[in-house]
Amino acid sequence: MFDAIIIGAGIGGLVTATQLAAKGAKVLVLERYLIPGGSAGYFQHQGYTFDVGASMIFGFGKKGTTNLLTRALDAVNVDIETIPDPVQIHYHLPDNLDIKVDQNYEKFLQNLIAYFPHEEKGIRRFYNECQKIFNCLNSIELLSLEEIGYVMRVFWQNPLACLGLAQYLPQNVGDIARKYIKDPLLLKFIDIECYCWSVVPANMTPMINAGMVFSDRHYGGVNYPKGGVGKIAQKLAEGLEKCGGKIEYQARVTKILTKQGQAIGVQLATGEVYHGKKIVSNATRWDTFEKLLPKAQIPPDEKNWQQRYQKSPSFLSLHLGVKASVLPTGTECHHIILEDWEKMESAAGTLFVSIPTLLDPSLAPPEYHIIHAFTPDWIDNWRGLSRSEYAEKKEQAAGKIINRLERIFPGLDAGLDYMQVGTPLTHRRFLGRVDGTYGPIPRRKLWGLLGMPFNRTAIPNLYCVGDSTFPGQGLNAVAFSGFACAHRIAVDLGI
């Protein structure tokens, strides 16, 4: 009998597992794939090491409380060498907006004010308000808001920070931005500032999340793990086993077992059964309540959640190996490309680009670079195709993305050494996420973060962790979810 069984070795599941193991709990992690990490995994081919997902990593700061990846690794006595990225994003946007988000806060503000000098006061007020939220978050220990003892303790230790955060819980970025900013083009820029990590515009992005992202990039900064993003999960798995926890690969959970309405264990595709006092699903809530449990018995709470949230699109990804000569001197690691504001939220609208070899050249053969370019896409666009139709559609989609990249990196096509195309079907197959989705997004404008569920579910002894729990998407956010989930379970177990 395990104290906790975690389904899935994504970052949220691994943080939950390592935090519990560090407290002495008997923990088992079951991962369907060959390696840990999920969307923060990696793959290797022809001398290249590619990140499965994004390479822009928050949470590796050295101070404060929001450096959750650093804290998660420290808890199990492992660490990772990281490489700081001096420019977080280089935006290539319509209306000739070419803006770099420098790690230096004032330099970023000056870059933006240069385009909108008439909005200097509004720009400073908006981003300073984000800083205010971040400072509140960064002064308290980030654990489970479901545990009343923790909430009371934190409140008495830092009442002003807690009250400061509480007022922003029901608010979205768009409401705050419009208080200070009038220029419609600048408001569009705020939209894509949100969209690039929340996959929704400012009007539907919780202000608390924006406070974290828009400020931590100037505080702890973006830091790339040497050896690739996959090293984070590898190190957490190593730390888990050091603390006596256990992780099994190629162990696909097909059913969460219940008795008298309570979760008691899991069953694998092989028929093998494990029992645990607490069961944690790092799968999406759709996979958890519609596949691992009988869909006919989905709790009312989950039905209500699905009325508020829907699946975001997946991604079409190009993993490229290119000659180093393709990249002009001074090229930044992360780019966002958009040619038409009206297409920002459309499939193949916004193009995300990461070039991690600019920070860690060891990920590619000498004189070559990795380019990972990805854009939102829906799985329905890829269903029902024959093998030849699928291959042809992938080739056409890749050609369009390469043409867009050529505008920034002329000669890229001629300098191509390697190309791998991943579709939403690829994401669903390898990541085990329903429809390959990036995560939940609001169906309509909601009250900030108040609609996001915490870790406990309506089924006793069953918990959820990851991007479909508070506070949402992003590596640091799911790490937060893991800290909160482990804290809640530890209190429930009395450890």
pLDDT of residue 145: 79
pLDDT of residue 422: 95
Buried b (16+ CB within 10 A) or exposed e, 182-216: eeeebbbbbbbbbbbbbbbbbbbbbbbbbbbbbbb
pLDDT of residue 120: 98
pLDDT in tens, the chain (495 residues): 999 999 999 999 999 999 999 999 999 999 999 999 999 999 999 999 999 988 899 999 888 888 999 999 999 999 999 999 999 999 999 999 999 999 999 999 999 999 999 999 999 999 999 999 998 888 878 787 777 777 788 777 878 777 878 888 889 999 999 999 999 999 999 999 999 989 899 999 999 999 999 999 999 999 999 999 999 999 999 999 999 999 999 999 999 999 999 999 999 999 999 999 999 999 999 999 999 999 888 999 999 999 999 999 999 999 999 999 999 999 999 999 999 999 999 999 999 999 999 999 999 999 999 999 999 999 999 999 999 999 999 999 999 999 999 999 999 999 999 999 999 999 999 888 999 998 899 988 887 777 788 999 999 999 999 998 988 888 888 999 999 999 999 999 999
Beta carbons within 8 Å of 271's beta carbon, 6+ residues apart: none
Answer for the pair 53, 317: CB distance below 8 angstroms, yes or no.
Answer: no
Answer for the pair 81, 241: CB distance below 8 angstroms, yes or no.
Answer: no
Beta carbons within 8 Å of 53's beta carbon, 6+ residues apart: 39, 40, 41, 229
Q: Taking the CA of residue 355 as centre, how many other CA atoms within 13 Å lie in the half-sphere pointing to its CB?
A: 22
pLDDT of residue 268: 98
pLDDT of residue 4: 98
C-alpha distances out from residue 82 to 56, 108, 273, 491, Å: 12, 23, 39, 33
How many Å apart are CA 420 and CA 450, to the nearest integer?
A: 40
The token duo for 336 is 């966002």
**Residue whose C-alpha is closest to residue 39's, from 332, 475, 392, 403:** 475
Does the predicted TM-score (pTM) go above 0.85? yes
pLDDT of residue 164: 78
- Do strands 27-30 and 2-7 pair parallel, antiparallel, or not at all (unpaired)? parallel
Beta carbons within 8 Å of 226's beta carbon, 6+ residues apart: 80, 81, 82, 83, 360, 362
How many Å apart are CA 132 and CA 66, to the nearest integer?
A: 14
How many Å apart are CA 379 and CA 426, to the nearest integer?
A: 10
- Do strands 309-311 and 27-30 pair parallel, antiparallel, or not at all (unpaired)? unpaired
Give me the sign of the Cα torsion angle 162, 164, 167, 170: negative
Give me the sign of the Cα torsion angle 398, 399, 402, 407: negative
**Residue whose C-alpha is closest to residue 400's, from 387, 384, 413:** 413
**Residue whose C-alpha is closest to residue 356's, from 380, 384, 377, 327:** 327
